[in-house]
Structures are given as C-alpha cells and as structure tokens.
Amino acid sequence: MPKTKKALKRARSTPKGRQVDPQALEDIQKLLESAPRRRDLLIEHLHKIQDRFGCLSAPHLVALAAEMKMAMAEVYEVATFYHHFDVVKDGDAPPAITVDVTNPACGDLLRVSALFQDEKVVEARFQVRGCTASIAAGSALSEWMIGKTRAELRELTPEIIDRALGGLEPASKHAAILCVDGARAIALATIASK
C-alpha cells in the first residue's frame, strides 16, 4: 500500500532508543551537582556513580548520557571498557556487597563483590588493578568464595589461595594476603549491614 505524504510527515510518538528515567536523571544531577559536564570528565563521573550506587545501571548510564549531551553508545562503551566498573544489565541486581582493599606497599587494588543467599555466597566477582599474581589470586578467591559462609570467609588464609594457584613465588605472596583482606572485608561488611 503506497504511503501518503500525510503519513510520512507524522512524527514518532516517542523518540528512538532508551528513554531517560526521571528518577535516574535526578540521581545524576544531584550526584554531579555543579561539576562541569565535559566529555573529558566522563570517566570521573562514571566513578562517582559507581562509588555512590555500587554499580552502573542502565537507567543511570542513559541519564548521564543525556546530562552530558553524549550518545548513549559512547557512555556505554567507556563504562564497559574499563574493568573497574560494574555495569548492570536491565533486571539484574548488583552483588549485595562490594569492598575495595589495597596493598599499600605495591599499590595493588582488589575489588570483591559477593551476593549471599541462605547465608552462603552464591555469586562472587573480582576486579584487580595490579600485578599478574594479584589478578590470578583474585580469580582464585572468587571461585573459592562460592558456597562459603561468612564465618568461612573470615577463616581464609594466604596458604589456601597459594595452593589454589599451585604456589606463588616469594615476591608474589602479597597477592594471597590481599585476597585474605578482601574476604575478611566482605565478611565484616556483611555483619555490619545486618
């Protein structure tokens, strides 16, 4: 059926793409306050959202894109490129607890997240900014945590992580200690939040 000129001129009732959630936009505006909305500050603003809300949700990313007058694809690309952001898909809940621990001697940073159900860890995630040994240890930690209780998290020793990795070099033992700090911080954060 041929389209008439009148049908071609009709505007869409809603714009294409994701719509900005008013509550998410209000959250972003309050969080950024009077900070400039320049492109070069995108990563800084993403960190603010991550720190405040514990993750980067789709509604907050859409609101940030609108507030900064950037394409959503650009904001999402930057958010997903950097490993230290927790981008949460629609309908997914972020892990209940996220903690950051650091080794002041070498500067390695471990972010550990855990979701508890029935008093046990059912999901664990990690992110590391540091050496290869710390990245491997973080991976071993997140696997070890599954099925553990809060008490078991507090009982983790560096030797458990060391064995899980097949033995760390003496210069890399700090990676296992960082994991112990992370597991204990998760356990304490859980207790504090109850």
Q: Can you spell out the DSSP letters for 134-185?
A: HHHHHHHHHHHHTT--HHHHHT--HHHHHHHTT---GGGTHHHHHHHHHHHH
3: pLDDT strictly greater than 90:
no
Amino acid at 52: R
With cut-offs at 50, 70 and 90, classify the pLDDT of residue 194: very low
Q: Can you spell out the DSSP letters for 100-130?
A: EEE-TTT--EEEEEEEEETTEEEEEEEEEES
With cut-offs at 50, 70 and 90, classify the pLDDT of residue 193: very low
Q: Looking at residues 146-160, what average pLDDT do you find? A: 96
Q: What is the pLDDT of residues 43-77, one digit of tens each?
A: 999 999 987 877 899 999 999 999 999 999 999 99
What DSSP character marks residue 56?
E
With cut-offs at 50, 70 and 90, classify the pLDDT of residue 13: low
Model-level pTM?
A: 0.55
Q: Looking at residues 11-30, what average pLDDT do you find? A: 83
Q: Looking at residues 107-121, what average pLDDT do you find? A: 90
Q: pLDDT at position 18, please?
A: 80
